[in-house]
Structure 1
Amino acid sequence: MNAIRRYGSAALLAATVSTLTFGTASATEGYFSNGFGARQKALAGAGVADSRDATAGALNPAGLTHVYGTEIDFSVSAFAPVRGYSGDPGPGLTPTGEFESGREFFFIPNVAWSSDAYKNSLFDVVGISLVGNGGMNTAFSGNSICGFAGPGPFCGGTAGVNLLQMFMSVAFAKQVAPGISIGVAPILAAQVFEAKGLGLFAAFPGVTTDPTSLVPGGQNDWSFGGGVRAGIEIAPMRNVRIGVSGTTPIWMQKFEQYRGLFANGGEFDIPASIQAGIAVDVTPQLTLMADWRYIWYSGVDAISNPSTNAFNCPGLGFGGIDPTQCFGGTNGPGFGWSDINVVKLAAEYRHSDKLTLRAGYAWNENPVSSRDAHLNILAPGVVQHHITAGFQYDLGGGYHLEMAGMFAPNNTVRGDDLFGPPGNNRVEIEMYQYEVTAGIKYKFGEPDAPLK
């Protein structure tokens, strides 16, 4: 891990700065992006068995064997997540009324490149992609009055979290037999986290294993790490392809400035995931896709541990006797997120040599239960449906314009105020999302292309 930090972090940080200038919130399955680049966005993230551009390396590196020549993809998404919470009248901490988060507009860039010009005995195609996650982004005003007469939802003024994650991967793909391709992509990752407005917890020094790093004044803290993505694509029939791609956990350095907040002394790895799917060319023009995805949020204690663990901590004053369940402890409180299944359905219709039409739909399980609704005011990743559409148009000269749109309908979770009487059921969190993506794809060496 030290080698990753020493040799990888400088390059990754430089590449990441431009992305973080925009922000990396994104249409979310929990807090994972539902797709990268304009094509995947239009297909609701489906296509693990149907790779057709350089961004495929961020989904299934094996699919890069179908991306001929040299290509660069660039896209920017304008993402608008609308997040809010409400508190019913009654005893507890949550302010009474309805409240909406700030930070409701983000620009998210995506860059990918691939080429078969370096083909050798080890690989046929190489690709580089730079993509991001960031579904935990909230900022609730301190104008509301909490149940303990302090400002904001947690009595510490404007409250929220900001988690940004950026991934740079270098993919290598090879066709090992007719109809069988494999690929592997080492990943370097950077993430930055900020929390603020949690002053209530600082009033209980015994609630954390490290009082100096529970709520360190809303400071940004960086960490770096790495993992691996690998995939395979098999064509059992001429018009049928099956693809599987998996990503290991991304093992990250701890957030040292938040070692008294996150379980295991600031540990915040990035969960593992797997995606499998099938693509069928119904006609030469029409391809249908069906994918399944699984995300192991349970593999990261800071995300999956129940928020109610805090009440077993002696320092909170609720009769708890287990210091390991204090903030920062080995079983410290988290957001209570569960593993989720995701199902994706999509279609791509190549209407002509110039125009391609795309549409998709994705459904995912909700990672947030009613038990953890209160703390997830900070991270209400509760949307379950993504409806998408888009197109690609050949502009000539090697340039292709891509567009995608997404709508995620409103979803809510209701649960107890953790500081109210049991069964009070007075907290509700909600989110819905819009996203528009525009991209340019350039194919080096296409007819009339200026660069060959």
Structure 2
Amino acid sequence: MILATPAMATEGMFALGFSTNQRAMGGAGVAYGYEAMSATLNPANAANVGHEMQFGLDIFSPNRGFTQAPGPRVESNSNYFPVPNFSYNKPLDNGKVFNISVYGNGGMNTDYPINMFGVGSPTGIDLSQMFISATYAGKSGNLSWGISPTVVIQTFRANGLPFGSGRDWSYGGGLRAGIVYEASPQLSLGLSGSTKMNMTKFDKYANLFENRGEFDVPGSITAGLAYKANSKLTMMLDVQRIFYSGVDAISNPVGPPPFGTPGGPGFGWDDINVLKLGLEYKANDTMTWRAGYAYSENPVGPEDVSMGILAPGVVTHHLTVGGTYSFNPSNSIDFAIEYAPENTVTGGPITLDMSQFSVSVGWTRKF
């Protein structure tokens, strides 16, 4: 599964959503527990989901490249990536809930068919991350809570760079936690946060990443609400902050001192805010429709385009649609389509560009 995690996620290096249904609603749902995978947005959501198991697969297709004037556009290859996810939610005899979820949190990938640094071709990088979260959740009155110790496995490989070669692995983890408060039968408020995931170093790339191969996973915090307008329609609004500044290898500016040294250069990414809007409409017992929109600030500035060639995570707008078809009360099929129109960033003679498209399918089994 780790080799199939996202090639270039939609919020810089983070995934917009982790399940088929989350992607259908623009990644929103921090205050809405409706499926086993909703624990990945907020561990407290697990307390509001029954005995359930989910599998999902996203086929993710990023179109990314760059233009260095006056030359032609150079497009990255490897444009299709399978992204699986799994979750199992089990109410316990003590009234609490246990959830285990495995999902791709983010990554970066470029594969340019040219020799860019005199080391060979193709030139590019491949970073994949897999999260394994074990959630313990409960509910006291109108307040749900959840805590998720999380293990992270990531792998990295660079081609055509003078800073190392071959695939390397890194391991680590951190903590995710959250709450959901039911202010009324119609309105729920959610808050979820993730610590920075402290990772072992990429030893093969000690000459690339800051502090001799250190590459942690940034922390984040998300607040949101879910409003049930009536028995059929639920509306969601989430606001997320991703703290890329907490990882020097990602946020340090491009420039001296040499790569790989403590305090050395990074990708120059800034902290970003993300706004997510989601709708769910239950037409009948068989069919549920979903739609969403998300706006993500761009972490790559004009001053960072030279390193951004390797990781052009510059898309900002995301349009999503999908739904669920229930064959019976126990089994249903989920589907979603996500589209991020092209966005560009120009710094000097270099212009980065990226657009994205994905199709997701999933299976939900209720016990």
Matched, 1:220 2:184: no
| 1:50 alignment counterpart | 32
Q: Pick one of 154, 157, 173 that aligns with 1:191.
A: 154
Matched, 1:348 2:323: no
Higher Rg:
1
| 1:257 alignment counterpart | 204
The alpha carbon displacement at 1:22 in A equals: 3.2
| 2:68 alignment counterpart | 87
Alpha carbon RMSD of aligned pairs, Å? Answer: 1.2
Structure 1 distance, partners of 2:118, 2:327, is: 54
Q: Pick one of 126, 129, 144 that aligns with 1:181.
A: 144
| 2:56 alignment counterpart | 75
| 2:250 alignment counterpart | 303
| 1:206 alignment counterpart | none
The alpha carbon displacement at 1:23 in A equals: 4.2
Q: How does 1:35-46 map to 2 (within 5 A)?
A: 35-46=17-28
> What's the TM-score, normalizing by structure 1?
0.79
The alpha carbon displacement at 1:284 in A equals: 1.1
Q: Is the 8 A contact 2:38 2:45 kept in 1?
A: yes
Structure 2 distance, partners of 1:133, 1:59, is: 11
SS in 2 for 1:136: strand
Amino acid corresponding to residue 398 of structure 1 in structure 2 = S
Matched, 1:138 2:110: yes
Q: Pick one of 156, 172, 179 that aligns with 1:232.
A: 179
Matched, 1:31 2:29: no
Q: Is the 8 A contact 1:26 1:133 kept in 2?
A: no
Q: 1:231 to 1:67 in 2, by over 3 A?
A: same
Q: Is the 8 A contact 2:8 2:313 kept in 1?
A: no
SS in 2 for 1:242: strand
Task: Specify every segment of 5 or more residues in structure 2 that has no aligned partner in the other structure, as ranges.
Answer: none
Structure 2 distance, partners of 1:268, 1:296, is: 14
Matched, 1:113 2:88: yes
Structure 2 distance, partners of 1:97, 1:66, is: 53
Amino acid corresponding to residue 22 of structure 1 in structure 2 = A
Structure 2 distance, partners of 1:154, 1:298, is: 27
The alpha carbon displacement at 1:294 in A equals: 0.4
| 1:16 alignment counterpart | none
Q: Is the 8 A contact 2:54 2:363 kept in 1?
A: yes
Q: How does 1:254-403 map to 2 (within 5 A)?
A: 254-307=201-254, 309-310=255-256, 325-396=257-328, 398-403=330-335
Structure 2 distance, partners of 1:171, 1:371, is: 40
Quick check: which one's strand share is greater?
2
Identity %: 44
Structure 1 distance, partners of 2:142, 2:287, is: 27
Amino acid corresponding to residue 167 of structure 1 in structure 2 = F
SS in 2 for 1:373: helix
> What's the TM-score, normalizing by structure 2?
0.97
| 2:78 alignment counterpart | 103
Amino acid corresponding to residue 99 of structure 1 in structure 2 = V
Q: Pick one of 183, 189, 212 that aligns with 1:242.
A: 189
SS in 2 for 1:279: strand
Structure 2 distance, partners of 1:107, 1:395, is: 25
Matched, 1:169 2:133: yes
CA displacement 1:358-413 (0-9 Å, x = unmatched): 00000011000000111110000000011001000111161111000000000001
The alpha carbon displacement at 1:26 in A equals: 5.4
Task: Specify every segment of 5 or more residues in structure 1 that has no aligned partner in the other structure, as ranges.
Answer: 1-18, 90-95, 143-151, 200-214, 311-324, 416-424, 445-452
CA displacement 1:393-446 (0-9 Å, x = unmatched): 11116111100000000000111xxxxxxxxx11011100000000000011xx
Q: Pick one of 47, 50, 57 that aligns with 1:65.
A: 47
Structure 1 distance, partners of 2:22, 2:329, is: 23
The alpha carbon displacement at 1:21 in A equals: 4.4
Query: How many equivalent pairs are there?
Result: 366
Q: Is the 8 A contact 1:65 1:175 kept in 2?
A: yes
Stretch moving more, 386-395 or 23-32: 23-32
SS in 2 for 1:40: helix
SS in 2 for 1:72: strand
Structure 2 distance, partners of 1:235, 1:26, is: 35
Q: 1:386 to 1:54 in 2, by over 3 A?
A: same
Amino acid corresponding to residue 107 of structure 2 in structure 1 = G
Q: Is the 8 A contact 1:25 1:133 kept in 2?
A: no
Amino acid corresponding to residue 181 of structure 1 in structure 2 = S
Structure 2 distance, partners of 1:25, 1:67, is: 30
Q: 1:129 to 1:162 in 2, by over 3 A?
A: same
SS in 1 for 2:58: strand
Q: 1:405 to 1:272 in 2, by over 3 A?
A: same
SS in 2 for 1:39: helix
Structure 1 distance, partners of 2:89, 2:156, is: 31
Q: How does 1:13-32 map to 2 (within 5 A)?
A: 19-25=1-7, 27-32=9-14
Structure 2 distance, partners of 1:326, 1:21, is: 30
Structure 2 distance, partners of 1:108, 1:402, is: 15
Quick check: which one's helix share is greater?
1
